[in-house]
C-alpha cells in the first residue's frame, strides 16, 4: 500500500488474492489493510494538508496536469491490468486508460477559475467569500470502472488542495496501486495521496467513521451509501455519494425504433451491463412494442463475447463469481415470479467462455411493477422489459415509481413531447434519444432520490470539494479601547 509516501505492507502482515474473471486464476496478492492502516493513512494525509493546501494554485494545477501526462504514458500497462483484474475488453481498457486522465486536466484548469466573491453589505463593512479545501478526503470506489471512479474524485480533490486516502474496491485494486506508483514520480508532499487496500467492511467503514476524515467521496451501491451516511454522521462529514440506479428507458410510439433498439442494446451491454447508467427498465409503447423488441433482440445477439484479451471481443465476463451468482439469482427470481426469459439467461458453454464469470446477453419480458427485477438494480447484461404501456401519463408514473433516480431515456421524434417528459421524470439525467447528457468532466452527473447526493463533473462537482467561507471586514478602523 502507498501511505505517507512509502510502500508498506498491511499492519496485519496478511494479503488476499485478486482473480482474473475470464480465467478464474489468481493474478496477484494485495495487502489486507485494516483499521490500523486507516489510522496511519489518515494521519499522513492530515500531516500533508498544510503543505499541499498552501501551494499556489498554479503549482498544484501544474502537478495535477503532470499526473495526467504520466497516466497517459502508462495507458497500455494500466489497460492491461484493467483487463486482467476486471475483464474489460482490451481495446476498451486501453482507450479508457488514455481517455480518463482528462479528468485531471479539466480539474487542474477549472480549479484556476474558481474565484471568490464580494457581497454588498454596508458602507462600513466588506464581506467576501473564499473557497478552501475541505481537508482530508476519503475516496471509496466501486469495481465497475476502477480507474475512472477514482479519477473523478481525485482530480478535483487534489487540484483544490485537499489530501486523500483512496480505498479502491477489494476485488480489483491493482490499477489503484499502479496509480500510486505513478503518483510517486510527482514528488508530492508525503501523504498527499495514500492508497490502502482491503475490504469495505473494515477499511471502508474505518474511513467513513474516522474522526479526522473531513469528507467521504463515494461511488457504489445505495446500500453501502446509506451505511456510509450513518457512519459519517458521527462527525458530520461532507458527503458526495454516487449510488445505484434502475434507469427507465421509454420508447414512445413516434420513436425511431431502429435507432433506439441499436443504441439501447449497446448501452445495456456496455461493460457487460456493469454500469450505473445502464437501462434498468424498458417501457415500450404498445404500438411499437413488438417491432422494438424484435430489433433490440437482433442487436443484443450481435455483440462478440469472448476472451477480453482478444481485440475482437466486445463483451467480457462479469467481475467475479459472486457477482455472476447475484445476476443469475435475479434472472431466476424473474422466472419464479412469472416473467419470461426470451434470450440468454444462462452461461455460455463454448470455450474459452466455459471458464470465467460469463453470462450471455439476456432479455426478460412480461415484467410487472412489483417484481424484484422491476425494482432492484441487476448490474449485468440483462434487459428488463416491462409490460407495454398506452399513455404518456401512465408511463411517467411508472417510470417514477422507484426508489432510484439516476438516469433515464425518452425516445421520441417530437422534441416538445420529449421535453414534457424531461420536466416530469425524477432523475439526475434525462436523455432525449441517444445521449445520456454526455459523459466527461465538463458535465454534471449525479442522482436524485436514493441514487445519491451531490454531483461529479462540471463546476458543481468541483465545488463539492471546497468549503465556502464568509469573511466580514470592518472598514471603520476601530479606536483602541483603553
Catalytic site residue 242?
yes
Piece of the chain touching ligand NAD by CB under 6 A; list 53-61, 140-148, 356-364, 470-478: 140-148
Max CA separation in the chain (angstroms) = 92
Q: What is d(CA 274, CA 267) in angstroms, rounded to the nearest whole number? A: 10
CB of 273 to ligand NAD, least distance (A): 11
CB of 243 to ligand NAD, least distance (A): 5
Which of 227, 341, 342, 419 binds ligand NAD (CB under 6 A)? It is 227
406 binds ligand NAD (CB under 6 A): yes
392 binds ligand NAD (CB under 6 A): no
Q: What is d(CA 327, CA 324) in angstroms, rounded to the nearest whole number? A: 5
30 binds ligand NAD (CB under 6 A): no
208 binds ligand NAD (CB under 6 A): yes
Q: Give the single-character DSSP code of 34.
A: -
Nearest to 95 by CA among 109, 113, 75: 75
Q: What is d(CA 148, CA 109) in angstroms, rounded to the nearest whole number? A: 18
Contacts (CB under 6 A) with ligand NAD, residues 324-343: none
- The number of C-alpha atoms within 13 Å of 278 and in the hemisphere containing its C-beta is 23
221 binds ligand NAD (CB under 6 A): yes
Pick the catalytic residue from 276, 314, 456, 464. 276
Catalytic site residue 384?
no
Nearest to 234 by CA among 254, 214, 257: 214
447 binds ligand NAD (CB under 6 A): yes
* CA 247 remoteness from chain centre: 15
Give the residue with the Cβ less far from ligand NAD, 192 or 219.
Answer: 219
Which of 17, 50, 116, 201 binds ligand NAD (CB under 6 A)? It is 201
CB of 14 to ligand NAD, least distance (A): 17
DSSP 3-state of 342: strand
431, 287, 402, 142 alpha-carbon torsion, rounded to 10°: -50
Q: Pattern 99-138, binding to ligand NAD, x per CB under 6 A?
A: ----------------------------------------
Place of cell 468549503: 467
Give the residue with the Cβ less far from ligand NAD, 52 or 379.
Answer: 379
Which of 20, 61, 144, 320 binds ligand NAD (CB under 6 A)? It is 144
Contacts (CB under 6 A) with ligand NAD, residues 251-280: 276
243 binds ligand NAD (CB under 6 A): yes
Pick the catalytic residue from 105, 242, 314, 464. 242
Q: Pattern 361-380, binding to ligand NAD, x per CB under 6 A?
A: ----------------x-x-
Are the beta carbons of 20 and 27 closer than 8 angstroms?
A: yes
| Phi, psi for 12 (deg, rounded to 5) | -70, -20
Place of cell 467576501: 128
CB of 476 to ligand NAD, least distance (A): 50
Give strand ranges (E) for 168-278. 193-195, 215-219, 238-242, 247-251
Q: What is d(CA 61, CA 274) in angstroms, rounded to the nearest whole number? A: 33
Nearest to 22 by CA among 269, 275, 303, 307: 307
268, 269, 273, 274 alpha-carbon torsion, rounded to 10°: -130
82 binds ligand NAD (CB under 6 A): no
Piece of the chain touching ligand NAD by CB under 6 A; list 82-90, 94-102, 110-118, 238-246: 238-246
Nearest to 443 by CA among 158, 64, 106, 67: 106
Place of cell 490502502: 196
Give the residue with the Cβ less far from ligand NAD, 188 or 425.
Answer: 425
CB of 279 to ligand NAD, least distance (A): 13
Name the residues that contact ligand NAD, by CB under 6 A: 140-144, 167, 169-170, 199-201, 204-205, 208, 219-221, 224, 227-228, 242-245, 276, 377, 379, 406, 447, 452
Q: Which residues does the annotation mark as catalytic?
A: 242, 276
Amino acid at each position: 500500500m502507498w501511505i505517507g509516501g512509502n510502500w508498506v505492507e498491511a499492519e496485519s502482515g496478511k494479503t488476499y488474492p485478486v482473480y482474473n474473471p475470464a480465467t478464474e486464476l489468481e493474478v496477484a496478492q494485495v495487502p489486507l489493510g485494516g483499521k490500523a492502516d486507516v489510522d496511519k493513512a489518515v494521519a499522513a494525509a492530515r500531516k500533508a494538508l498544510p503543505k499541499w493546501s498552501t501551494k499556489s494554485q498554479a503549482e498544484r494545477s501544474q502537478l495535477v496536469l503532470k499526473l495526467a501526462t504520466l497516466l497517459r504514458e502508462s495507458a497500455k500497462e494500466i489497460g492491461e491490468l484493467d483487463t486482467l483484474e476486471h475483464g474489460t475488453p482490451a481495446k476498451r481498457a486501453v482507450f479508457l486508460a488514455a481517455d480518463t486522465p482528462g479528468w485531471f486536466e479539466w480539474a487542474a484548469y477549472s480549479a484556476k477559475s474558481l474565484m471568490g466573491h464580494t457581497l454588498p453589505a454596508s458602507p462600513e463593512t466588506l464581506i467576501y467569500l473564499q473557497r478552501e479545501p475541505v481537508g482530508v478526503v476519503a475516496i471509496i470506489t466501486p469495481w465497475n470502472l476502477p480507474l475512472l471512479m477514482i479519477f473523478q474524485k481525485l482530480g478535483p480533490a487534489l487540484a483544490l488542495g485537499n489530501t486523500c486516502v483512496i480505498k479502491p474496491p477489494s476485488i480489483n485494486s491493482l490499477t489503484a496501486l499502479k496509480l500510486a506508483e505513478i503518483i510517486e514520480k510527482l514528488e508530492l508532499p508525503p501523504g498527499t495521496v495514500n492508497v490502502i487496500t482491503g475490504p469495505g467492511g473494515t477499511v471502508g467503514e474505518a474511513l467513513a467513521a474516522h474522526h479526522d476524515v473531513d469528507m467521504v467521496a463515494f461511488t457504489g451501491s445505495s446500500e453501502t451509501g446509506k451505511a456510509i451516511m450513518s457512519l459519517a454522521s458521527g462527525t458530520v462529514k461532507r458527503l458526495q455519494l454516487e449510488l445505484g440506479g434502475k434507469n427507465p428507458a421509454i420508447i414512445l410510439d413516434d420513436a425511431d425504433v431502429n435507432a433506439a433498439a441499436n443504441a439501447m442494446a449497446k448501452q445495456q451491454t456496455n461493460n457487460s451491463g456493469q454500469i450505473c447508467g445502464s437501462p434498468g427498465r424498458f417501457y415500450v409503447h404498445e404500438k411499437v412494442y413488438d417491432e422494438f423488441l424484435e430489433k433490440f433482440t437482433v442487436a443484443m445477439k450481435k455483440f462478440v463475447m469472448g476472451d477480453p484479451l482478444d481485440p475482437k471481443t466486445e463483451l467480457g465476463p462479469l467481475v467475479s463469481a459472486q457477482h455472476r451468482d447475484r445476476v443469475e439469482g435475479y434472472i431466476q427470481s424473474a422466472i419464479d415470479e412469472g416473467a419470461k426469459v426470451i434470450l440468454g439467461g444462462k452461461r455460455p458453454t463454448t470455450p474459452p467462455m466455459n471458464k470465467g464469470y460469463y453470462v450471455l446477453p439476456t432479455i426478460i419480458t412480461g415484467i410487472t411493477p412489483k417484481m424484484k427485477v422491476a425494482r432492484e438494480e441487476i448490474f449485468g447484461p440483462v434487459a428488463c422489459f416491462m409490460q407495454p404501456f398506452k399513455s404518456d401519463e401512465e408511463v411517467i408514473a411508472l417510470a417514477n415509481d422507484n426508489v432510484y433516480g439516476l438516469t433515464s431515456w425518452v425516445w421520441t421524434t417530437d422534441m416538445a413531447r420529449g421535453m414534457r417528459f424531461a420536466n416530469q421524470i425524477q432523475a439526475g439525467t434525462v436523455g432525449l434519444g441517444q445521449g445520456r447528457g454526455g459523459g466527461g468532466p465538463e458535465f454534471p452527473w449525479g442522482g436524485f432520490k436514493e441514487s445519491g447526493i451531490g454531483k461529479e463533473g462540471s463546476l458543481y462537482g468541483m465545488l463539492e470539494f471546497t468549503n465556502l467561507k464568509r469573511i466580514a471586514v470592518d472598514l471603520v478602523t476601530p479606536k483602541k479601547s483603553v
